[in-house]
Chains A and B, each alone.
Chain A
Amino acid sequence: MPDDRYSDDNPPRRDDEYDRGRRDDDYDRGGRYDDDRDFRRGGEDIPNYLAQAVLVTLCCCLPFGVVAIVNASKVNTHIQAGDYRAAREASDEAKKWAMIGFVCGLIIQPLALALNIMANSR
């Protein structure tokens, strides 16, 4: 039988999928994510990462940016519907795809540049 009496020494097991992307101050001292915080604030500090998504789409020329924008739009849709947990999840998705696009851009752009220089010097 697992001990279900939580204390500072015995915090509940965290739902890591859901905790991804939370801010450090969203946790109380026992390391629990404060689920009610989003409700109290009306979801105002759930980031939608739209600016990052637009930048990735424009700078990295990758479809991943569009995936990030679609997820960013889901964040605001869920906030308007009051579903803050789903908004958090969409926010994480948007962040993930913006990051994937950004890293792909970082890898591919220098490669393309190098190929270009090699092709031009022939």
Chain B
Amino acid sequence: MSHSPEVGAERPRRELRRRRLVMVAVLATLLAACGVVYFFPPTDYSFYPRCFFHDLTGLHCPGCGGTRCAFALLHGDLAQAAAYNILVLIYLPYLSLTGLNACWHAVFDRPMYSRKMPAWTIRATAVLMVLFWILRNLPYAPFTLLAPHKL
């Protein structure tokens, strides 16, 4: 961030340029990643980054099964996606909406909506993450459904 005084109108324009650049970069990466995941099933190819937490401890982290979940989603298999990682599925609408809002902000120079989520939902997110991390590693009957599994 520049500390030198500038003409006021220059700053928002620079901010907008930055937003557009970030949007294009993120969308391109996302599209490329979706293409790779769509055509190369993560269950058959080993070039995907593996979870080092799982490699080290043998336990599942909150994101484990995420790539397989994305593959199932891209092929329209919702049940299988939920079986691999239900948290990704739960947060997908929120993440998509936030991403859409960011794109809107970049294109039209103002956000689509600026309503903040109530504070308790975000505290719940933190609790949910940690709970999910613990519960999906428990070897008991209902919790084993949270660990990534093939239907």
User: Which residues on A are within 8 Å of B, measured CB to CB?
Assistant: 8, 11, 14, 19, 22-25, 27-31, 43-45, 48, 50-51, 54-55, 57-61, 65-66, 69-70, 72-73, 75-77, 79-80, 108-113, 116, 120
Contact = CB atoms under 8 A, between A and B. Distances in A.
A19 to B, nearest CB: 8
B150 interface: no
B67 to A, nearest CB: 10
B66 interface: yes
A57 B130 CA distance: 10
B140 interface: no
A83 to B, nearest CB: 12
A61 B61 contact: yes
Given A25-B11, A61-B62, A79 B116 contact: yes
A14 B64 CA distance: 44
Given A51-B94, A61-B62, A65-B129, A80 B52 contact: no
Interface string B85-110: 00110010011001100000000000
A109 B61 CA distance: 14
Contact of B129 (A27, A29, A48, A66): A66
